[in-house]
Structure 1
Amino acid sequence: MTRLQDVLLVVGQLNYTWTNTESLLIYLIAGLAKVDKETAIIIFLTLNTTRARIELVERLAKMKKTPADCRKAVLAVTEQLNKQAKLRNKYSHCIYSFDETGTEATTQLMRIADGKDAVRYGKIEKLDDAEIKRIRASIDAITKINTGVWAIVDDYGFPK
């Protein structure tokens, strides 16, 4: 398998796993806001960024009416989501380059970094075996977050 095939497979898995897990925020919104699933879906879809969705869930969890143990569980899950979001965002919003044989790969970040007296952009990094391993570890972590969200939904009787 070429590096191109490895990258396409692992980044596809990362995005699939992330999207599947992010959509579970719907159930946390429903439970914490005490609304039905359809209302939670509309709220989720109205917020057009992952950051906004996670912040909403965190703010709902921090409300006084949320039991302390539920708050703790939800905030632990959102903390883990935020950690994994960084890597997911990197690979969802970068440009990929491969050599003519498909064996060497690099990414170019599409982000501006403002320095004291200069602007930098387009940081280029190798996508080597170590980085592929890091992506796979992120997929495993996101899968565990998924399981954690379902446990919260079940433990607190949130709408399904």
Structure 2
Amino acid sequence: MVLTQLPPKPDFEALAASAPATADRRTQILALIGNLVSSWSNNESLFIYVLMILMRTDPASAALTFATLNTTRARLDLIQRLAKITIKDKSLDRSLSKIIERFNETTHVRNEFNHCMYIVDAGGQITHTQSMRIVQTKNSLHFGETKPMDEVRLKGMVKTIKDMTRINRDIWDFLPRLENHLRPASTATP
């Protein structure tokens, strides 16, 4: 007998037959994941306008700079460094730092659901996620953490989506403040 470390192959016919009974729950989970992803993407994209203002350039040039940096971390690092040399108002600088900090917190949740394997039971219900990260402890190295897709987790997703919505509104409120701060004194609005 050959031993394997692979999980058992799902019974795809049985899953297909029983999946309609769990469709509502699966749809709810997939809708939450979709909301997480689209809300996060919209928020990340708004940082193009922060970059545009900090660089005192046009939207296309800011988008080109933004897209050239291939990670969110690199994009936000550039924004934070530009802010340090550009923003003279400490309150405004703190506002930007707080927005970025809150965005990074939501990024962890988005990444958790964007970079995992979804585990389903025999009825096709999503029961757990399996992280794609390697977890290293003092004495071992193992494949990522498994977490249940229970009500607590779903409520956490809803909370994160609400947090992302608030971040989106806060970025929109921040943009004109930043723009006004960096306008030459002769053209700044009161």
Tell me, yes or no, whether TM beats 0.5.
yes
2:58 matched to 1:36? Answer: yes
| SS across alignment from 2:179 | coil
1:59-138 to 2 correspondence within 5 Å?
Answer: 59-63=81-85, 65-67=86-88, 68-138=90-160
2:39 matched to 1:2? Answer: no
Aligned amino acid, residue 115 of structure 1: T
Q: Decide whether aligned partners of structure 1 residues 104 and 156 sit closer, same or farther in structure 2, where only a CA change above 3 A counts.
A: closer
**Cα deviation digits, residues 113-150 of structure 1 (max 9, x gap):** 22222112131110111101101110110111111111
| SS across alignment from 1:24 | helix
Q: 1:58 aligns with which of 64, 80, 105?
A: 80
| SS across alignment from 1:157 | helix
| SS across alignment from 1:105 | strand
**Any gaps of 5 or more consecutive residues in structure 2?**
1-22, 181-190
The structure with the larger Rg is: 2
CA distance in structure 1 between the aligned counterparts of 2:82 and 2:167, rounded to whole angstroms: 19
Count of aligned pairs: 158
**Cα deviation digits, residues 52-92 of structure 1 (max 9, x gap):** 112221222222x3122321111110010111111111001
TM-score by length of 1: 0.91
| Alignment match, 2:34 | 12
Q: Which moved more, 1:119-128 or 1:82-91?
A: 119-128
Q: Which moved more, 1:95-104 or 1:48-57?
A: 95-104
| Alignment match, 2:6 | none
**Which structure carries more relative contact order (alpha carbon 8 Å, separation 6+)?**
1
1:146-157 to 2 correspondence within 5 Å?
Answer: 146-157=168-179
**Any gaps of 5 or more consecutive residues in structure 1?**
none
TM-score by length of 2: 0.78
